Every structure is written in C-alpha cells, then in structure tokens.
Amino acid sequence: MAGTTLTLSFPESDIAVLTLDDPNSGANVLSRHVLDALDQHLNELDQRGNVAGVVIRSAKPGMFIAGADLKEFMTWLDTPKSEIASHCRRGQKLFARLSRGNYVSVAAIDGTCVGGGAELSAWCDRRIFTTSERTGYGFPEVKLGLFPGWGGTARTPRMIGLSNAIELVTGGESIDPKTAAAMGLANDVIDVRAGGADALLNAAIRMIRAEQASQEFRRDRERWFGPIDISETELGFLGATANGYIQQQTKGHYPAPLAALEVMLGAAGLDVDAACAMEADGFANLFGSPTNRALLNVFFLNDRNKKSGGTAAGAKPKKITSAAVVGAGIMGQGIAAANVKRNIPVALMDTDQAVIARGVQGVLNEVAYNKQLKAPDVKKAVELAPLVNGTLSDVELSRADIIIEAIIEKREAKQKFFARVEPLTGNETILCSNTSTIPISLLANSLDHPERFCGLHFFNPVRQMPLVEVIRGRKTSDDTITSAVAYARALGKSPIVMNDGPGFLVNRLLLPYMNEAALLLSEGASIKEVERAAKSFGMPMGPITLYDVVGLDVAVHAGRTLAEAFPDRVVGAPIIDALFKAGRLGQKVGKGFFDYGPPRGGKPPRGTDSPETHKLIDECRTGTVKKFSQEELIDRMFLPMLVEATRVLEDKIVTDVRDVDLGLILGIGFPPFHGGLFFWADQVGSAKIVEKLQRYAALGKRFEPTTMLTKLSQSNGRFYE
C-alpha cells in the first residue's frame, strides 16, 4: 500500500525525508500508488512552507528504485497513444515539482537507481551516491523497446551535456558512482561504511544546508529549464556520429535508440517543458509496438527465472560452500572461474601437471581481469589465488560439496571417472556432468547413488553465457535438482530445469537450424545468402560462422547422437562430413567453412572465403541448383526449430514454452526483439505457421506439424495463453 511504501518524516524541523520501502518486494518500483503518495506528500510539504530541504532515500540497502512497475505497463499495452502520452506528462510534472519547490531536493542513492528511479533523481536539485559496488545509475528503457518517458531525455542533457545524455539513454547501460561524478550526475560520492547507518542521510542534510547558503541550486534550476547550449554545427556532427554508431549496434532491429536520439536532438533548442512534451509523444509511439511487447516478454522471462523454477515442494537444497571441477580445459577453466568470482573455493583437477598449471593461470587471468587496464590485475590475482587449487588427486575432489565433470565428451571416459570418484565422496556430495549430449540417465547407470547425480550444462564461453541447463536423470532426487539450481544462481547464472533426453533442450533445437543451413548449401544457396538471411532475422551470427566457432568435429558428434535418437527427421548434410574428413574443423585449426588467420588484439580470427570449401560444396550439390528468396531461407532454418520445440514440449523435456524461449535467447542468442521462439510464432499465427510448413511437406518429417501445432492452428490458438 502507498502508506507503507513511501513515508514522510522530519529528522530536523525543516528537513523532510521521503523514504521508499516496498514491504512486499526486494525492490522499490514506481507504481501508480507510489506516484499518488508522492503527489500527496509534496502537497503537504508545499502547505507547510517552512521546509529547507527534501531528501529522497530508500530503506533497502543496495536498492534505491528499480524503475517503473512493469506489471502495470503490461495492462496498458492496448491503451490509446494519447492516454500514454498523458500518463508521461503527469509523471514529468510530478517529478518536476522537486525542482520547483522552495526547498533543496536531494536524492540519496545507495544501490540500483535505474529507469523511472533515475528520472526521479534527475529532477532533484542534487544527487549523492554511495561507493557501494551495487550502486548503478542508468536508463535501461531501450532494452524494453522504449526510452525514458518521465523527463529523462529532457532533464538529463541539460544537466550533463547532450553527448553524455545520448550515450546514457541510447546505450541503456548503467554507470558506476565514479563515472556519474565525472559526468556531473553525482554531486557527491561517500563511503557509508565509515559513517554508520545515517551517513548518507547526514551527508544529504549537510548538502541542503550548503545549498541554502549559496543558492547555487537556484542558478542551476534556471539554466536547466532552458534550451541546451550547443551550436547547430555541433548538433549536426553529434547527430550524425550517434546515428551511425546506433545503426551499427542495433542493425536496424531496435527502433528505440534512434527514436530517443531524434527526440533529444529535436528538443535541444527548446525549453525543458517543450522537450518533455516531445518526449511524451515519442514514448507513446513506441509503447505497445511489436518490439516493445517482445522485449517486455523477455524481461518477464528473466524475472520468472530469477524468482521461481527448479524448486520442488519439500526439497532440501544443500548449501554449496566448495566446488571441484574436473577438466582444466577452456570449459573447466570457465566453470572454475565462475566459482572464484563468487568467492567459492574450487579444486581444478586434470591428469597432467602442465595442463593444470595452464588451467589455474587461465582462471586467475579471467577473475582478475581489469577492463580499464585491459589486462589481469596482479594484486587481485594474488588475492584470489588461494580460492583455486590445482590438483592431480581424487582425494582433493572428495572434500567438495559439488563435483562438476567437464572432460572429453565420451561416455566411457565419463563413466570411468564417476565410478572412480564416487566411493571417495561424502553422503551429500552432488555429482554433475557438463555433458552437452550424453543422456544423464545413461551416465548414472553405474553409480551407487544416482539420486545425487544430475547434468549441469554450462555454455561456452562461461563468462559470457548466462544459461545453465540443469538436467534431471530418471533417478535424480528433488533435493539434488533444487541444490543444483541454487548453486547455479549463486554463480550468477540462469538455470533451466529439464528432463533427460538427447541434446537436452538447446542443442536439440539448435541442430535443426544449423543442419538446415548446411542442407541449403547442397541445394544451391550460397554461404552469403544463408548468413545474410539468419542475421536479417536477428541472429548474432550466421549458422555457417557458428559451425566454425563450435567446431565441425563437435557438430558431427552432436549430429550423430541426435540422428541415432531421431532417425526419422535428422537428415545428414553432406558438406559437414566432407569438411570433417578434410580436417577443416573450424576456427580452432584455422580452417572450416572459412579460412582464418591468427587472432589479433585478443579478438577472434576473421574468416575469409575458402576456395577449397566452395569446391567441396560443389561436390556435395544435390540435383538442380535452386534460387531461394530470403523469406524461404528464413522459413527453412527456423520452422524445423519450431517444430522440434513443440516435440520437446510433447516429450515433456520441459513443460513451459517460457523455458524454451528463455533457453534459446540465453543459449544461442535467439533475437530478443522477437520475444522468444514461441512468442515469435504467436505473432506469425499458428494457422500461418502450419500453412508455411505445408509448402515444405516434400522435404520430410522435420517439416511435419506436430499434434500440438495442428490443434493450435485449428482453433487459431497461441502458445502463450
């Protein structure tokens, strides 16, 4: 309720403090009730007349305001644009009262301050930040297909300059207190650890007293309510530069950053109220658009994953305080580093001392990497070194709460390892395999305690990929799954629980997409056409490039595993076997579909056309060479993925379309602006999807509608009910 979320108090007779603290949530959000309460409290302060200053703060450590209430946003998606614009204007005028009252307004910011929270603080006369690592300030609205609508595009550039504001608003990333101070957003940054619980409030009161004495805040108000001081030449140059950069970053798939740029440039010569009116109209034009709806869906997919899933009623999760990783290669190093970053001690084991030494060094290089130095920080590496223990001994593993195997992808090797190490472990030790294809129940067959064994599949590179597949074997206990989910979350990952099955979730759905791309080459499509079609759909890289990144040997192995499981619909692509036999295994050997030179400046090598590959493709051609439209190429690659996804649901690998959509977004970079595979299918329409599939019926069962898809199409139903 409003009364308990936003309270008004007076620590001193002329100092008002507005404290945010939503009792029903770990975050403060600006719901309609909170805005109503703010309006009422400001009315009360105006009536008092003897207020020297107002401090806005949060009672939640590490959390100021997380933005607007997006659940309310969902209820407004079909609201007329005029009403959305009016809502924006109401918020703008409400917040602007903080810069018009006869008092100094100060935002005392500790922790997350984003979206509407950043806008509220921007309308205050001054802002104080804490040095807390959790303190971050930003405007992430473009990640939802929007831009700030409560004055963020109007107020911010008048405070910190148009260039800085454009970077903040169109980039959508948060900045730390040090950067905020350099930009002029933070008027002070304090270390609250030295001053006790009231250090931030006391600093805000001191700032109010100083401002009342100097009256500097009034001079800033006058300046910030007027036009931006920038010449036409500077404005034109800034606009052209920013436009080019945004186009490069968004590839034209995300309209909000360019719309924000247009509003900010167009309003530069106006006073702040006129700029706010432009902002409101521009915001209303984006609100409820297909991109906005899709990105809101992605937000709620992530939110759901953080709050629920993987916890069975009555399950007792084991607290993981130490871990062991077996296999000191790239994957093992990544998993070990994820533990060290969260201060979890980890033993890193392999069978060769030189491999272990390289592995430990790789872990320390990653966890101590300093973005400013663009190199590992030696001091930090020394501090973290005690958390990683390189070992050849099985006994060292037995002391860990969880053991993650990340060795060669061969069933016999994995089973041999687990048979050797299981007798050494305690009664509660959890055993996990990082396998990407081998059935978990098969690996568990020889274990004495299969109930304490599950799959824990990380994605490469671990430092960048948030997804972890938690795979339940036939005998895996609820306690084990719940513990594995909690552990993955403790590492900062997004776990999705699934039942056992060939390829699990992501690889099972990735294969039809990649395999179809390779088949298209045999039918006459060029590499450039296939790559262009996939990227025009929004994929971060084309499927041909992805083959080289993953490795043709890995692709062949995964393909064979899934072909054995689903022989009726997995059709081998001749070019993949041909490249494999020719030793063209991808980037790791310098040649795959493309030829690669050595990597430069830490960046992956860039591929160039290979005459040998073109020759092999010609030799693999089947029948008459065909010309494809871009629509047909997209259909051919993504429809088999969708059909297989419905089979995943029918097979109960997962039971919720949201798990599929989030898994593909996080695991393969499925375009967020489509909202997820099933969300995209709903926008196309189930009847239209089936109609498309019928065009390709001659290609076989991989294009045959499943029972689920057929039923939906008959009622024009949706995957998202």
* Residue 600 confidence (pLDDT) above 80: no
Which residues in 116-131 are b (16+ Cβ under 10 Å) and which e? Answer: bbbbbbbbbbbbbbbe
Domain assignment present for residue 669? The answer is: yes
Domain assignment present for residue 340? The answer is: yes
Helix axes 707-714, 630-650, angle to 10 degrees: 110
Both 541 and 676 in one domain: the answer is yes
pLDDT in tens, 203-260: 999 999 999 999 999 999 999 999 999 999 999 999 999 999 999 999 999 999 999 9
* Residue 134 confidence (pLDDT) above 60: yes
Looking at the DSSP assignment, which residues form a beta bridge with residue 506? none
Both 51 and 172 in one domain: the answer is yes
Q: How many domains would you assign to the chain?
A: 3
Distance CA 660, CA 663 (A): 5
Both 69 and 197 in one domain: the answer is yes
Domain assignment present for residue 636? The answer is: yes
* Residue 2 pLDDT class (50, 70, 90 cuts): very low
Contact of 471 with 500, CB cutoff 8 Å: yes
Q: Tell me the average pLDDT across 60-80.
A: 93
* Residue 582 pLDDT class (50, 70, 90 cuts): very high
Catalytic residue among 449, 457, 614, 674: 457
Domain assignment present for residue 52? The answer is: yes
Q: Tell me the average pLDDT across 48-65.
A: 94
Query: What is the per-residue pLDDT for 310?
Result: 64
* Residue 372, domain extent: 323-498
Distance CA 160, CA 223 (A): 12
Distance CA 205, CA 106 (A): 9
Picking from 498, 518, 545, the residue at the C-terminal end of a domain is: 498
Cβ atoms < 10 Å from Cβ of 281: 16
pLDDT in tens, 684-698: 999 999 999 999 999
Sign of CA dihedral 542, 545, 547, 551: negative
Distance CA 158, CA 167 (A): 14
Closest CA to 467 of 436, 429, 440: 436
Contact of 454 with 472, CB cutoff 8 Å: yes
Distance CA 95, CA 54 (A): 13
Instruction: Return phi, psi of residue 342, to 5°.
Output: -105, 20
Domain assignment present for residue 546? The answer is: yes
Query: What is the per-residue pLDDT for 602?
Result: 61
| All residues at 6 or more sequence positions from 561 whose CB lies less than 8 Å from its CB, including other chains | 437, 438, 502, 503
Contact of 117 with 64, CB cutoff 8 Å: yes
Both 338 and 482 in one domain: the answer is yes
Query: What is the per-residue pLDDT for 311?
Result: 67
Query: What is the per-residue pLDDT for 623?
Result: 72
Q: Average pLDDT of the chain?
A: 94
Both 239 and 351 in one domain: the answer is no
The CATH number of residue 397's host domain is 3.40.50.720
Query: What is the per-residue pLDDT for 450?
Result: 96
Distance CA 487, CA 322 (A): 10
Distance CA 405, CA 347 (A): 12
Which token pair is 358? 């390289």
Domain assignment present for residue 177? The answer is: yes
The CATH number of residue 648's host domain is 1.10.1040.50
Q: Is the pTM of this model over 0.75?
A: yes
Closest CA to 498 of 656, 644, 647: 656
Least confidently predicted of 372-386, 522-536, 653-667? 372-386
Distance CA 266, CA 264 (A): 6
Distance CA 198, CA 11 (A): 11
- Residue keyed to tokens 């993981």: 320
Picking from 436, 464, 498, the residue at the C-terminal end of a domain is: 498
Which token pair is 3? 């009364």
* E strand spans, 274-429: 323-326, 346-349, 369-370, 375-376, 388-391, 402-405
Closest CA to 579 of 568, 590, 593: 593
Query: What is the per-residue pLDDT for 316?
Result: 83
Both 486 and 566 in one domain: the answer is no
* Residue 265 confidence (pLDDT) above 90: yes
Query: What is the per-residue pLDDT for 26?
Result: 87
Both 594 and 512 in one domain: the answer is yes
Q: What's the one-letter identity of residue 627?
A: K
Q: Which of 131-135, 232-236, 369-373 has the highest mean pLDDT?
A: 232-236
Picking from 498, 525, 552, the residue at the C-terminal end of a domain is: 498
Which token pair is 137? 């300030």
* Residue 3 pLDDT class (50, 70, 90 cuts): very low
Closest CA to 64 of 173, 213, 174, 171: 174
Q: What's the one-letter identity of residue 61?
A: P
Distance CA 627, CA 261 (A): 40
- Residue keyed to tokens 């036939």: 474
Query: What is the per-residue pLDDT for 4?
Result: 65
- Residue that wins the pLDDT comparison between 370 and 519: 519
Distance CA 596, CA 589 (A): 8
The CATH number of residue 272's host domain is 3.90.226.10
Q: Find the helix or strand (DSSP H, E) in which 460 lies.
A: none
Query: What is the per-residue pLDDT for 372?
Result: 74
Q: Tell me the average pLDDT across 694-716.
A: 96
Distance CA 659, CA 720 (A): 12
Q: Going edge to edge, which strands form the sheet with 346-349?
A: 388-391, 346-349, 323-326, 402-405, 430-433, 453-458, 467-472, 494-499
Both 448 and 528 in one domain: the answer is no
pLDDT in tens, 149-182: 999 999 999 999 999 999 999 999 999 999 999 9
Sign of CA dihedral 551, 553, 556, 558: negative
Which token pair is 326? 């077996």
Both 537 and 655 in one domain: the answer is yes
Strand 467-472 and strand 453-458: the pairing is antiparallel
Sign of CA dihedral 518, 521, 525, 529: positive
Contact of 21 with 56, CB cutoff 8 Å: no
Distance CA 112, CA 64 (A): 5
Sign of CA dihedral 10, 11, 12, 16: negative
Using CA atoms, how far residue 622 sits from 207, 582, 611, 630, in Å, is 77, 20, 19, 20
- Residue that wins the pLDDT comparison between 624 and 358: 358
Which token pair is 98? 């903080």
Using CA atoms, how far residue 645 sits from 286, 666, 668, in Å, is 31, 16, 14
Query: What is the per-residue pLDDT for 1?
Result: 38
Domain assignment present for residue 299? The answer is: no
Both 96 and 192 in one domain: the answer is yes
Contact of 348 with 325, CB cutoff 8 Å: yes
Contact of 157 with 172, CB cutoff 8 Å: no
Query: What is the per-residue pLDDT for 370?
Result: 83
Distance CA 327, CA 348 (A): 7
Both 89 and 171 in one domain: the answer is yes
Contact of 301 with 666, CB cutoff 8 Å: no
* Residue 195 pLDDT class (50, 70, 90 cuts): low
Query: What is the per-residue pLDDT for 314?
Result: 76
Nearest-5° Cα angle at 392, 388 to 394: 95
- Residue that wins the pLDDT comparison between 40 and 26: 40
Domain assignment present for residue 296? The answer is: no
Both 487 and 568 in one domain: the answer is no
Using CA atoms, how far residue 131 sits from 108, 179, 181, 478, in Å, is 12, 11, 11, 41
457 is catalytic: yes
Contact of 191 with 130, CB cutoff 8 Å: yes
Half-sphere exposure (Cβ direction) of 320: Cα atoms closer than 13 Å:
29
Q: How many residues does the chain have?
A: 721
